Amino acid sequence: MTEVKREVFGQMPRAEGGGVVEKFILKSDSMKVEILSLGCIIAALETKGRNGEFSDVVLGFDTLEGYMREHPYFGATVGRVANRIAKGRFTVDGKEYQLFLNNGPNSLHGGARGFDKVLWSPQVLPNGVCFFRLSPDGEEGYPGDLKVWVTYTLSGGELAINYRAQTSKTTPINLTNHAYFNLAGQGSQDIYNHEISIEADSYLPVDETKIPTGEVATVQGTSFDLRQPVELGKHLQKFHLDGFDHNFCLQQAQARRLVARARHPPTGRAMEVHTTQPGIQFYTGNDLDGSLRGKGTVAYPKHSAFCLETQNWPDAVNKPHFPSALLQPGEEYNHTTWLVFSAA
């Protein structure tokens, strides 16, 4: 059985349109998840270790003020288009669109005021919560009125996130959740003793601005071969890597499949990622630098968390040979990701 509670988390500043931010607490016997109506943010996720002790394994803030300041999308739903669009430019139906550039020469995670920074309308479900918003035509430069539903449901040790959208004009769309995980517990210094595996035979090499070059490269014989579990710290050292911030290409199938696994041997905590999406961005918190203080005023240094963002491939709207990122009127965008937590 899942218990669902709601409470007030804070009040949006008037400059941001005001409005009450609510927190929804989903609780099963093995997990507790807290989700905000601001950005559909996963603000906390507590799960058991092998000794039965609960720890919060996602980075974030104790108060709304933390989320109102600039931060690297902790726990948020990002869109309309997650990841990068080269030069913030794309063409649909012969018309060129220019987006706000917020990541060097590129547009990242929906622009200046993406889905992570707005209030969503919640509806409580028996085992979770569904958030809705209408992204108006022209918001952040994107075409079409876009209706979006993000639904979180909790069952035992499994958190499901379903994304649905419908549009009035052809528009690119790519939704994901940007939770930062540390299975040792948020606030732990690093993720070097985590074991990571990703079920991908190929990945996307990127240029110096993190835009895919267009090549779909094999992982065989490279540092990107994570098909067997690697201990992250040793793996980064062995290949002299600063970290990962890359899209791994998943088997193209609309069905649910296991695509990645993270494990923290000292606590026994493990997380499996299952999805219907064609890609997963593996990011090792390379840009965290200790300047941000999160829950319990703990500093978040470099490599103190990882993200496994299930999504379409970056810049797909400008790469015809990538899986299509376009949603047409009359169609429905519908993807689900399942995070399955266990301890052994």
State the burial class of residue 192 (Cβ atoms within 10 Å of its Cβ: 0-12, 13-18, 19+).
middle
Residue 188: what are its φ and ψ, rounded to 5°? -70, 150
SS3 category, 292: coil
> Cα dist. 194→27, 54, 191 in Å?
26, 18, 5
pLDDT of amino acid 333? 98
Residue 252: what are its φ and ψ, rounded to 5°? -80, 100
pLDDT tens-place values along the chain, 344 residues long: 999 999 999 999 998 889 999 999 999 999 999 999 999 999 999 999 999 999 999 999 999 999 999 999 999 999 999 999 999 999 999 999 999 999 999 999 999 999 999 999 999 999 999 999 999 999 999 999 999 999 999 999 999 999 999 999 999 999 999 999 999 999 999 999 999 999 999 999 999 999 999 999 999 999 999 999 999 999 999 999 999 999 999 998 889 999 999 999 999 999 999 999 999 999 999 999 999 999 999 999 999 999 999 999 999 999 999 999 999 999 999 999 999 999 99
pLDDT of amino acid 15? 87
Tokens of 20: 């009450």
pLDDT of amino acid 252? 85
pLDDT of amino acid 254? 83
Query: In terms of Cα–Cα distance, which of 41, 98, 46, 47 is closest to 64?
Result: 41
pLDDT of amino acid 174? 98
Q: Give the residue ranges of the annotated binding site for beta-D-galactose.
A: 83-84, 178-180, 245
Q: Tell me whether strands 95-98 and 77-78 are parallel, antiparallel or unpaired.
A: unpaired
The whole-angstrom separation of Cα 145 and Cα 166 is 8
SS3 category, 158: strand
> Cα dist. 62→67, 137, 181 in Å?
9, 34, 16
pLDDT of amino acid 253? 83
The whole-angstrom separation of Cα 301 and Cα 314 is 26
- C-beta of residue 86 within 8 angstroms of C-beta of residue 212: no
The whole-angstrom separation of Cα 182 and Cα 305 is 5
Cis peptide bond upstream of 50, omega within 30: no
> Cα dist. 231→127, 149, 192, 260, 263 in Å?
35, 37, 7, 14, 9
Stated pTM of the model = 0.97
Which of the residues are catalytic?
Answer: 178, 309
